[in-house]
Amino acid sequence: MSRKASLRNLPGFDTFFTRWKEAVMRVFRSMVTIAAMVGFALGCGEKKAKAPTYDIAGEFAKVKAARTALTDARTRLAEVRDKLAELQKLPRLTPEQSAEKTQLEAQLKEVQKVFDDAFSEDQSRLSEFLNVVLNDETLRAAPQTRQALDLYAQEALVNAQDFMDRAGDYRRAIELLETAEGYFTAVNLSPPQPLLATKEKAKAFRYITKERFDQLKKGMTEEQVKAITGTPFYANVRENEVKGRKIVSWLFNRQDGEVAGLYFEKGKLYALKWNVKE
């Protein structure tokens, strides 16, 4: 028998993907509006810009407040997840630890809900703010505009890193980072270097290369392998029972369309194939 490994059982994993999809669709709609309106504004450069009536300082204060709430919620969520993960590693729990685990599982649902709401509020505030300021010739040059773009880039980096580290989904990480980059390029601003560097890293690890594959050695731990290959895509991690032995397989897509396979037993790499079909 075989089954997919339990990445989808990670606390908040499915909610994470749902949240990401909703945010990307909202940002995508915003980007379409921004690109169209900014293009129109730049094409009508001879017209004198109207005096802004938008309270940019007041509205940006709301954006910053939403980001503070999101940061606090993320910190609390990480604390609960870490405590729960430590208990889940233990082979056997005492009655006190079992009670604590039950309590943490209940807390996780609560803090996840707080985080989801904070994330939605943060992205909504930010998208609304950017839609206004990026389409106003005067407001576009305000310092709050660049600060808001930097806030968006920071959150894009956090979520992209989550996609890579927790799910091995480099394609979606690239999409998220390119969306963030688009905000900057739409108004001729340079994107932050960390955003560009992370995008290049995601592209480099989206497919396994022969060079990285050849660095792998039998006996390596999963963490040692992951440092070379990156996190495998969650749907390509499987556990198999072979003659009473528990074998974990990681499959990696190659750019030529073929698939490489890595096989672990008791947490150590014991076999590897550049082409699983051979």
Which CATH number belongs to the domain containing residue 233 in this structure?
3.30.1450.10
Round to whole Å and give the CA distance between 68 and 120.
13
Q: What are the residues facing 260 on neighbouring strands?
A: 252
N residues, the chain: 278
Rounded to two decimals, what is the model's pTM?
0.77
31 with 127, same domain?
yes
Q: Is the dihedral of CA 217, 220, 222, 224 positive or negative?
A: negative
Q: Choose the final residue of a domain: 186, 206, 226.
A: 206
Residue 193 and residue 156 in contact, taking contact as beta carbons nearer than 8 Å: no
Domain count within the chain:
2
φ and ψ at residue 273, rounded to 5 degrees: -130, 130
Alpha helix stretches (DSSP H) within the chain: 13-43, 56-89, 95-133, 143-162, 170-186, 193-206, 210-213, 222-229
**In this structure, what token pair is assigned to residue 230?**
């990156």
pLDDT one digit per residue (tens) for the chain, 278 residues: 444 444 434 444 455 555 545 554 554 454 444 544 454 444 454 444 444 589 999 999 999 999 999 999 999 999 999 999 999 989 899 999 999 999 999 999 999 999 999 999 999 999 999 999 988 888 998 999 999 999 999 999 999 999 999 999 999 999 999 999 998 988 889 999 999 999 999 999 999 999 999 999 999 999 999 999 999 999 999 998 888 889 999 999 999 999 999 999 999 999 999 999 87
In a domain, 278, yes or no: no
Residues 219 and 159 placed together within one structural domain of the fold: no
Q: Could you list the residue range(s) of the whole structural domain that residue 64 is in? A: 2-206
For residues 66 and 155, state if they share a domain. yes
